[in-house]
C-alpha cells in the first residue's frame, strides 16, 4: 500500500511542481506573486477540451494529436501570459508593492469569469481514452499508463527547464536578473526581454500541467485554477520560492505528503496535516528547503 | 296573480323544498393543499394541485365521499417559510379536515406546528428531514421515505440480491450522505454483513486515489457511495484504474447522466444506482391508471415522483374517511396509525405508518449502467 500511495502522490506532485515553476520563476525575477498563474493552468485544461472536440478526438488513444495539442496549448497560454505581463504588470513595475498584487488578483478574477462565460458554469468533461486506460499490476501496485505519461512528461519538462536555465546564456541571464536586476542591467542584459521570457516559460509549463490534469481526471471546471494554484504556490514556498529545483522538489514532496496523510490518517485531515508539516519545515528553514538567503532589496 | 305566475311560484317553492335536504346532505368535505405554487419550487406545488384535483374530480363524479362532495382548498406558500405559516393559518381558518403539503422540509416545518395546534391531519408527500416526525405531533404523517429507507434497501440489495458480505462505505460528510451511510451501516450490521471500510471524501476534490488505495487494501466486494454524482463518477473511474473489481453502488444523488459522462462508459458500466423510481417505471396498476388519467387531463406525464406521493397522501386520507365514516381528524389519524395496512398506493404498497407517522417499507429501486452507458432497471 505504501508503494501505491507513493506512486499516486508522485503523479499528483509532479503536476504541482510544473505549476509551481511558474510561481517561482516570476517571483525570482520580479519579487511578485503572480496570482493569475493558477488561472493560466486552468486555461490550459479548457483549451485542451476545445482542441480535442474540434479535432473530433475521443474513444481511442491519440498520442500524435495530443503532442500537437500540447504544443499549441502551451503556445497560446504563453501568449496570454505575455499579454498579462504587458497589460497588468509592466505599467505597475515602478509602483508600490501592493499595486501589482491587486492587479494580479484582478487578472485572476477576469480570466475565471471569461472562461465561465465562454464554456458555462457547470463541470466540463474531456473525451475518454485519449491515453490508453490500461494499467500494469506489479504485485499489489497498479501503475496506469496515464500516471506514467504524467510523470514522464513532467520530469522531462523539468529536466529540460533546469538544463536551459543552468547551461544556456539565456538561462544565465535569467539567473542574473533574479540575483540583482540593476546590476544585470548595467552588465548589458536586456532585463525587460528576460522578464518577458519568464512570462512565456511559466505559463507554457502551467498549460501543459493543465492538459495533464485534464487527461488524468477528465472533469474540469473554471475554479480549478484556485485549488491547484494554491497547492502549487505552497509547493514553491516549501522548496524555497525563487529557486527552480526547489519548486520541483517542493511539488513532488507536497504530492507525496498529501497522499500519505490521506492514506494513513484521513482525507478530512489531509490539508490540516499537510499545512502543519509545511509550518514545521518553514520554522526549521524559513527560506524553504532549497532556498538561499533572499537579500532584501531596497 | 294570474295563472302562469301562480304556476311559476308554485314550481319555485317546490324546487326550494326539494333542494333543501340535498343541499344540506351535500355539505362538502374540505381538504387542503399547501404547496409552493410560485417561487423556485413552483413546479412541485403545481404537481400537487394537478394530481389531487384529478383524483377529487374522479371521486365526485362517482357520487362523492360518504355522499358528500370533496372540495379542494389550496394555499400557495410561495416557496418561502414565512409564507408557509401564513398559508397554513389560512387553510385552518377555512375549516379543512386534512392537509397535503408542503414540498420542502423548510416549508413543512413551520406549517406542521400550526396544523398540530389546530388538530388537523397533516401529510407531507416530500419533506424528508428526520426531525419533522420527531416532534411528537400525533396527526403528522409522510408518504415519502426518510433516508433510512434508502439505506435499508441498499443493505437488503447487497446482502440479498447481490449476496455479498464485505462492503466499503464512502460518504462526503454532508448531512444527507453521512446520514445515508450511517443507516446503511446499521442495516448491514443487522444482516451480518461486514463493513470493511468507512470513511469520507471531500466534495470538490478530484483525487481520491489515496482513499481508494485504502479501500483496495480492505478488499471489499461492494463499494457503497452515498454522495453526489461528480465525485461518484471520479471515484468509480479511479477505482477501476487502481484495479478494484468490487461492484460500485451509489445512492439517489448519483442518478444523473453526468455520472456516466464523468466516469466514462468503460468504468461506469455495471455500476448500480439506488433511487426512487421515476414515475413511468412504477409497475403497479394504480400507477398505470393514474399516469394515463393524468396524461389525458393535462396532456403531460408528471416527471416528479413527488406528484405521485402527493396523490397517495390524498388517497390515504380518502381511504381513512371512507373506512371510519367520519371526517373527525382524530379518528382519521387513529385509523392511519393503527388500521391502514398494505394499502395499494400509486407509488407502491403502503405497508402502514409507524408511531411517528413515517411510512413503513421502501419503494427504492436498483438501476444499473448498461454497456451503452444508459441507466436502466436492474435485472436479475
CB contact under 8 A, A142 and B242: yes
pLDDT (0 to 100) of residue A37? 95
C-alpha cell at B343: 394499502
Residue A298 has pLDDT above 50, yes or no: no
pLDDT in tens, A212-243: 999 999 889 898 998 899 999 999 999 988 88
Going by pLDDT thresholds of 50, 70 and 90, the confidence category of residue A297 is very low
Reported as half-sphere exposure (CB side, CA atoms, 13 A), residue A109 has a value of 5
**Strand-pair partners of A136:** A143
Residue A286 has pLDDT above 90, yes or no: no
Chain A hits for B173, Cβ within 8 Å: 268
Q: Which of A4, A129, A218 sits opposite B213 (nearest CB)?
A: A4
Q: How far is B378 from chain A (nearest CA, A)?
A: 25
- Pairing type for strands B272-275 and B343-345 reads unpaired
pLDDT (0 to 100) of residue B18? 56
pLDDT in tens, B322-352: 999 999 999 999 999 999 999 999 999 999 9
pLDDT (0 to 100) of residue B23? 47
CB contact under 8 A, B213 and A5: yes
Average pLDDT of A252-268?
88
pLDDT (0 to 100) of residue B370? 94
Chain B hits for A217, Cβ within 8 Å: 206-207, 234
Q: Which of B173, B216, B230 sits opposite A123 (nearest CB)?
A: B230
Predicted model pTM: 0.78
DSSP B65: B
C-alpha cell at B109: 416545518
Residue A197 has pLDDT above 90, yes or no: yes
Chain B hits for A128, Cβ within 8 Å: 264-266
Average pLDDT of A71-91?
94
**ipTM of the complex in this document:** 0.80
Q: How far is B218 from chain A (nearest CA, A)?
A: 11
Interatomic CA distance for residues A207 and B42, integer angstroms: 44
**Strand-pair partners of B199:** B170
Going by pLDDT thresholds of 50, 70 and 90, the confidence category of residue A179 is confident
CB contact under 8 A, B243 and A135: yes
Average pLDDT of A158-170?
93
- Pairing type for strands B247-250 and B222-225 reads parallel
Let me know how many helices (H) and strands (E) chain A has, helices first: 11, 4
CB contact under 8 A, A1 and B237: no
Strands (DSSP E) found in chain A: 124-125, 135-138, 141-144, 219-220
Q: Which of A128, A258, A266 sits opposite B264 (nearest CB)?
A: A128
Closest CA to B255 of B225, B230, B229, B291: B229
Q: How far is B370 from chain A (nearest CA, A)?
A: 17
Interatomic CA distance for residues B39 and B48, integer angstroms: 15
Q: In this structure, are residues B164 and B157 in contact, taking their beta carbons and an 8 Å threshold? A: no
Q: Which of A144, A219, A268 sits opposite B241 (nearest CB)?
A: A144
Interatomic CA distance for residues B295 and B291, integer angstroms: 6
pLDDT (0 to 100) of residue B8? 64
Q: In this structure, are residues A219 and B169 in contact, taking their beta carbons and an 8 Å threshold? A: no
Residue in A6, A7, A128, A147 to test binding to B, most B beta-carbons within 10 Å: A128
Torsion angle in degrees (nearest 10) through CA of A154, A156, A158, A161: -140
Chain B hits for A218, Cβ within 8 Å: 237, 262, 264
Residue A296 has pLDDT above 60, yes or no: no
Work out the number of other CB atoms within 10 angstroms of the CB of residue A142.
Answer: 21
Could you tell me which residues of chain A have a Cβ less than 8 Å from any Cβ in chain B?
Answer: 1, 4-5, 8-9, 12, 123, 125, 128-129, 133, 135, 137, 142, 144, 146, 213, 217-219, 224, 227, 258-260, 262-263, 266-268, 270
Chain B hits for A49, Cβ within 8 Å: none
Q: In this structure, are residues A37 and A203 in contact, taking their beta carbons and an 8 Å threshold? A: yes
CB contact under 8 A, B242 and A217: no
Q: Which of A137, A142, A267 sits opposite B201 (nearest CB)?
A: A267
Average pLDDT over chain A, rounded to an integer: 90
pLDDT of chain B, 380 residues: tens digit per residue: 566 666 666 666 655 555 554 544 578 999 999 999 988 888 889 999 999 999 999 999 999 999 999 999 999 999 899 999 999 999 999 999 999 989 988 899 999 999 999 999 999 999 888 888 889 999 999 999 888 889 999 999 999 999 999 999 999 888 788 889 999 999 999 999 999 999 999 887 888 998 999 999 999 999 999 998 889 999 999 999 999 999 999 998 888 888 998 899 999 999 999 998 888 888 899 999 999 999 999 999 887 889 999 999 999 999 999 999 999 999 999 999 999 999 999 999 999 999 999 999 888 999 999 999 998 999 87
pLDDT in tens, B151-200: 999 999 999 999 999 999 999 888 788 889 999 999 999 999 999 999 99
Q: In this structure, are residues A191 and A54 in contact, taking their beta carbons and an 8 Å threshold? A: no
Residue in B206, B208, B232 to test binding to A, most A beta-carbons within 10 Å: B206
Please give the full DSSP string across B312-326, using - where no structure is assigned: HHHHHHHHHHHHHT-
Going by pLDDT thresholds of 50, 70 and 90, the confidence category of residue A38 is very high
Give the rounded percent of residues in chain A with a pLDDT score beyond 70.
Answer: 98
Amino acid at each position: 500500500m505504501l508503494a501505491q500511495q507513493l506512486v499516486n502522490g508522485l503523479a499528483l506532485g509532479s503536476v504541482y511542481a510544473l505549476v509551481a515553476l511558474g510561481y517561482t520563476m516570476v517571483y525570482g525575477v520580479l519579487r511578485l506573486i503572480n496570482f493569475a498563474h493558477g488561472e493560466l493552468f486552468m486555461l490550459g485544461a479548457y483549451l485542451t477540451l476545445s482542441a480535442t472536440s474540434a479535432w473530433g478526438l475521443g474513444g481511442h488513444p491519440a498520442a500524435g494529436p495530443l503532442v500537437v495539442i500540447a504544443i499549441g496549448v502551451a503556445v497560446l497560454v504563453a501568449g496570454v501570459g505575455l499579454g498579462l505581463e504587458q497589460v497588468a504588470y509592466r505599467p505597475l513595475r515602478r509602483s508600490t508593492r501592493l499595486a501589482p498584487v491587486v492587479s494580479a488578483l484582478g487578472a485572476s478574477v477576469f480570466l475565471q469569469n471569461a472562461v465561465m462565460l465562454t464554456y458555462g458554469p457547470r463541470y466540463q468533461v474531456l473525451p475518454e481514452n485519449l491515453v490508453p486506460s490500461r494499467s500494469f499490476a506489479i504485485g499489489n501496485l497498479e501503475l496506469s499508463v496515464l500516471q506514467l505519461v504524467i510523470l514522464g512528461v513532467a520530469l522531462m519538462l523539468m529536466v529540460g527547464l533546469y538544463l536551459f536555465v543552468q547551461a544556456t546564456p539565456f538561462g544565465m541571464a535569467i539567473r542574473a536578473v533574479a540575483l540583482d536586476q540593476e546590476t544585470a542591467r548595467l552588465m548589458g542584459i536586456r532585463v525587460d526581454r528576460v522578464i518577458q521570457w519568464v512570462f512565456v516559460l511559466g505559463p507554457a509549463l502551467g498549460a501543459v500541467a493543465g492538459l495533464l490534469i485534464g487527461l488524468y481526471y477528465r472533469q474540469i471546471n473554471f475554479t480549478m485554477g484556485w485549488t491547484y494554484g494554491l497547492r502549487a504556490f505552497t509547493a514553491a514556498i516549501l522548496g524555497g520560492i525563487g529557486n527552480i529545483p526547489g519548486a520541483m522538489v517542493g511539488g513532488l514532496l507536497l504530492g507525496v505528503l498529501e497522499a500519505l496523510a490521506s492514506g494513513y490518517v484521513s482525507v478530512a485531515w489531509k490539508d490540516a496535516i499537510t499545512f502543519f508539516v509545511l509550518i514545521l519545515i518553514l520554522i526549521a528553514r524559513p527560506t524553504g528547503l532549497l532556498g538561499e538567503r533572499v537579500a532584501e532589496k531596497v | 296573480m294570474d295563472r302562469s305566475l301562480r304556476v311559476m311560484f308554485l314550481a319555485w317553492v317546490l324546487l326550494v323544498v326539494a333542494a333543501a335536504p340535498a343541499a344540506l346532505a351535500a355539505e362538502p368535505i374540505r381538504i387542503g393543499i399547501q404547496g409552493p405554487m410560485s417561487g423556485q419550487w413552483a413546479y412541485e406545488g403545481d404537481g400537487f394541485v394537478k394530481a389531487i384535483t384529478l383524483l377529487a374530480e374522479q371521486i365526485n363524479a362517482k357520487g362523492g365521499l360518504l355522499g358528500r362532495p370533496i372540495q379542494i382548498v389550496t394555499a400557495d406558500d410561495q416557496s418561502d417559510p414565512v409564507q408557509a405559516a401564513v398559508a397554513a393559518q389560512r387553510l385552518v381558518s377555512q375549516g379543512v379536515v386534512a392537509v397535503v403539503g408542503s414540498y420542502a422540509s423548510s416549508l413543512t416545518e413551520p406549517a406542521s406546528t400550526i396544523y398540530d395546534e389546530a388538530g388537523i391531519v397533516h401529510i407531507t408527500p416530500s419533506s424528508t428531514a428526520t426531525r419533522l416526525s420527531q416532534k411528537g405531533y400525533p396527526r403528522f404523517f409522510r408518504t415519502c421515505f426518510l433516508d433510512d429507507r434508502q439505506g435499508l434497501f441498499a443493505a437488503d440489495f447487497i446482502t440479498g440480491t447481490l449476496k455479498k458480505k464485505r462492503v466499503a462505505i464512502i460518504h462526503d460528510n454532508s448531512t444527507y450522505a453521512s446520514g445515508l451511510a450511517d443507516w446503511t451501516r446499521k442495516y448491514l450490521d443487522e444482516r451480518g454483513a461486514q463493513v470493511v471500510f468507512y470513511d469520507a471524501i471531500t466534495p470538490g476534490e478530484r483525487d481520491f486515489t489515496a482513499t481508494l488505495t485504502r479501500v483496495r487494501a480492505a478488499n471489499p466486494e461492494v463499494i457503497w457511495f452515498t454522495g453526489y454524482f461528480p465525485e461518484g463518477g471520479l471515484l468509480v473511474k479511479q477505482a477501476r484504474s487502481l484495479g478494484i473489481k468490487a461492484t460500485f453502488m451509489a445512492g439517489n444523488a448519483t442518478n444523473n447522466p453526468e455520472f456516466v459522462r464523468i466516469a466514462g462508459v468503460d468504468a461506469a458500466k455495471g455500476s448500480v444506482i439506488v433511487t426512487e423510481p421515476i414515475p413511468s417505471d412504477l409497475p403497479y396498476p394504480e400507477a398505470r391508471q393514474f399516469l394515463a388519467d393524468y396524461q389525458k387531463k393535462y396532456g403531460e406525464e408528471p416527471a416528479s415522483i413527488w406528484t405521485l406521493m402527493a396523490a397517495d397522501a390524498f388517497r390515504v386520507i380518502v381511504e381513512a374517511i371512507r373506512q371510519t365514516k367520519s371526517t373527525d381528524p382524530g379518528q382519521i389519524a387513529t385509523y392511519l396509525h393503527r388500521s391502514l395496512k398494505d394499502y395499494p398506493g400509486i407509488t407502491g404498497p403502503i405497508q402502514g405508518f409507524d408511531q411517528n407517522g413515517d411510512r413503513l417499507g421502501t419503494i427504492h429501486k436498483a438501476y444499473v449502467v448498461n454497456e451503452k452507458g444508459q441507466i436502466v432497471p436492474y435485472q436479475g
